[in-house]
Structure 1
Amino acid sequence: MSGIDIKLTAGFDRKSSSIEANGSVEHVITDKEVIAFGLYGENLKNAVNKHSDQSPRDVYLHRPTPWGDLYKSYGWEEVKTVLKVIKSEILDVTSKPTIVAKKNLINTSPYRATFDASVSEDVKNTTQTTWSKTDTIDVSQSFKYSLKFLGTGVEGTTTMSYSHSWGQGGSETQEVTVGSRQGVSVPLEPKQSAVAKLIASKGFMKVQIVYNASLTGSVAVNYGKKHNGHHFWSYDISQVMADASLNNSLEFTEEIEIGYYSNSTVKLEDGDQATTGESRSQAEGEGQNDEGEDQDDQEEGRGEGEDQGEGQDEGENQNDEGEDQNDEGEDQNDEGEDQNDEGEDQNNEGEGKGEGEQLDGGDTQGEYIFLLIGPRISSLALN
């Protein structure tokens, strides 16, 4: 079999997920691989010596060879590097339901109506590949990867394919549509609402593939002195390496992490139920705000009452001061009247004295009559 194929199925749990990796690739051993397997220089001759108990003059792993083409002449097989899959396994699978999209349906008409509840959304499936050290061997063939995502896409299953060369890491991305584009409907009464939710399992899957590289074929050997009657011999490379305690097995690992969506469904919910939680939270918040406002109003009322009480006290104090001032003014008026009375009395006394004096004196220049007008004294001349 030529080529290596990796087939992966990503489901919503380990039971529905799987991995299948098989195949092999081979090629004539390269100079890099000669070093990787420890067959360089005298190591190869020493290995043949241990295997045959006689030191060879020349050892060859592949064409060309002197003396014509020993591999072609005797039908020997050149030493080749064979890479094959020896194990593949799922390391981890996790899946979590996720709301991918929502669609609100509201019947604002006065009639019963049927609404399309189909919901779909574009999402991305991704792969990320990492390798152990792979530069010790040469592999020219590409590896083929086929992934199947269950319950994804409008058809129920989505596939993804790509090719990588040996040791190539990196990522691959595929955009797919999950959900349903048609065939889902719901009747709604007037003023009734519903919510269509697209729910899919968002999964993560990690797999590991183990490869083994080994050598097959024959070494071509020339003995300077015949060995068991012949100069040219061929020996199985695996036996030669085993007798020389050389490792004929190199392992490499590839890990693939896959992010994907699977098992998508559309779930219908009553619109009122879908918003109950939000409405309840809003109502609680408004109730708390109302309580806070009432408390603020009560505090403001108390403050205003205290201010009014203080104002009344100030007003009463001012009224008391005003009454006191009025009392003082009345007292001053009384004092003024008393003074006026005293002045009148004095004037009367003066008039009496003046009249007596004038009469007695017999003044012929005229007489004066003093009139008391309020607090002032006026005089009129009589001719």
Structure 2
Amino acid sequence: MNLSLVKYFIYLLILKKSLAEININITLASTKGAAKLVCSGSDLKLVTEKEIKLYNITDRNLKVSVKKDVGKEPDEVFLKDPTDYGYVYYKYHWNQIHRKVQVKTTEIEDIVNKEVVLTIRNHINNTTRKAKVKIDLYETVETTISSFWDKDAFEDNIYYNINTFYFKTELNFKNTWKDNNFISLTSIIGSKSVGFVDIAPGRTVTTTLAAKRTILLVKIVYAASLVGNLFANYARLFGKYHFWAPPISDVMKFGNLNNEIIVNELIEIKCYTDPVIYVIDKETGKKVPLMFDDKPFHKRRQKN
């Protein structure tokens, strides 16, 4: 196979893996007790000049911090390959410095419900015999997902997934970091009864599909920090080595450099939950009871 093609395919695989690593899974419900919010994954990015400015990890600050950490100031520090000494990170299997974004905390802040009527259907018996009608009613509804971010959140190319679940319906939405987005998705909601209603000749039964118009407010708190090892070089032997690789988290801690940037996102989901069907006699206005077929069953004989 052509080597350029191999490199191209590898690049595509790496790119695909790096795009939507953060997943926000929300189980929709009309109460906080039933709703669920689970987040997983993280976004990793090799540091650039943007992160150097964002975390104030200048050459001078890092050297001073390393001295406080290990006891002596290095002559040089490096964040990633290639260094002035070649691919040192690769050679010694050290982790290059990355910016890591992951979900720190989550909260379902509020759930608001309002009962609404989705659709109405009349069942008219124009025959001279009693009619049996199965009760099932469905309607296409709209689910909207809105995303709102802190105004001072840092800019970056981070992609993540918002996945919503309601019974067997799953809606997926891919969003971009700090993108105050709005998306509308359609799905089907409804209900089906195992029973039926008897409709007398000339009578009309009205079935009404109602549901709750539910609004969920979800708060996601992200933490962005630096991970990996800092390559510190000592021209003269320090201890047993010229090359040291202290964790960047320790270096920043000893140097009093902030290694956790907090960013907040508020997600608003407008959806429909708790479908229910009301069956009413149109003339009397009374509820029509559901009927059920008596199904015979066979009792297994015990073996002697």
Q: Which amino acid aligns with 2:119?
A: A
Q: Is the 8 A contact 2:155 2:178 kept in 1?
A: no
Superposition deviation, residue 221 in structure 1: 1.9
Partners of 2:45 and 2:241 lie apart in 1 by: 29
Question: SS in structure 1 opposite 2:123?
Answer: strand
The residue that corresponds to 2:107 in the other structure is 89
The residue that corresponds to 1:168 in the other structure is 179
2:36 to 2, 7, 18: 18
What pairs up with 1:1-383 in 2 under 5 angstroms? Answer: 3-107=21-125, 111-115=129-133, 118-133=136-151, 136=154, 138-140=156-158, 142-150=159-167, 157-180=168-191, 185-228=196-239, 230-274=241-285
Q: Is the 8 A contact 1:7 1:20 kept in 2?
A: yes
Structure 1 residues 234 and 114: CA distance shift in structure 2, 3 A: closer
Question: SS in structure 1 opposite 2:41?
Answer: strand
Structure 1 residues 107 and 236: CA distance shift in structure 2, 3 A: closer
Query: When the two structures are aligned, how many residues end up with a matched partner?
Result: 268
Partners of 1:183 and 1:74 lie apart in 2 by: 66
Superposition deviation, residue 116 in structure 1: 6.0
Superposition deviation, residue 90 in structure 1: 1.1
The residue that corresponds to 1:304 in the other structure is none
Partners of 2:156 and 2:48 lie apart in 1 by: 7
Q: Is the 8 A contact 1:91 1:208 kept in 2?
A: yes
Unaligned runs of 5+ in 2: 1-16, 287-304
Q: Which amino acid aligns with 1:61?
A: L
Partners of 1:18 and 1:147 lie apart in 2 by: 10
Question: SS in structure 1 opposite 2:89?
Answer: helix
The residue that corresponds to 2:14 in the other structure is none
Structure 1 residues 158 and 231: CA distance shift in structure 2, 3 A: closer
Structure 1 residues 237 and 137: CA distance shift in structure 2, 3 A: farther
Superposition deviation, residue 241 in structure 1: 1.0
Superposition deviation, residue 248 in structure 1: 1.1
Q: Is the 8 A contact 1:118 1:185 kept in 2?
A: no
Structure 1 residues 259 and 228: CA distance shift in structure 2, 3 A: same
Superposition deviation, residue 48 in structure 1: 2.5
Partners of 2:87 and 2:64 lie apart in 1 by: 23
Unaligned runs of 5+ in 1: 151-156, 276-383
Q: Which has the higher contact order (CA 8 A, sep 6+)?
A: 2
Superposition deviation, residue 41 in structure 1: 4.3
Q: Is the 8 A contact 1:134 1:167 kept in 2?
A: no
TM-score (norm 2): 0.77
TM-score (norm 1): 0.62
Structure 1 residues 267 and 238: CA distance shift in structure 2, 3 A: same
Partners of 2:241 and 2:138 lie apart in 1 by: 77
Structure 1 residues 238 and 110: CA distance shift in structure 2, 3 A: closer
Q: Which amino acid aligns with 1:175?
A: T
Superposition deviation, residue 185 in structure 1: 4.7
Question: SS in structure 2 opposite 1:66?
Answer: coil
Question: SS in structure 2 opposite 1:266?
Answer: strand
Partners of 2:243 and 2:133 lie apart in 1 by: 86
Question: SS in structure 2 opposite 1:77?
Answer: coil
Partners of 2:192 and 2:41 lie apart in 1 by: 40
Superposition deviation, residue 249 in structure 1: 0.9
Partners of 2:165 and 2:146 lie apart in 1 by: 16
More helix by share: 1
* Aligned-CA RMSD value: 2.8
More strand by share: 2
Superposition deviation, residue 21 in structure 1: 0.6
Partners of 1:137 and 1:218 lie apart in 2 by: 24
Q: Is the 8 A contact 2:146 2:268 kept in 1?
A: yes
Structure 1 runs of 4+ off > 6 angstroms?
Answer: 181-184
Question: SS in structure 2 opposite 1:119?
Answer: strand
Question: SS in structure 1 opposite 2:230?
Answer: strand
Partners of 1:237 and 1:137 lie apart in 2 by: 22
Deviations 1:192-244 (A, max 9, x none): 33221111122111112222121222212233444346443322211111111
Partners of 1:118 and 1:50 lie apart in 2 by: 71
Q: Who wins on radius of gyration, i.e. which is larger?
A: 1
Structure 1 residues 128 and 222: CA distance shift in structure 2, 3 A: same
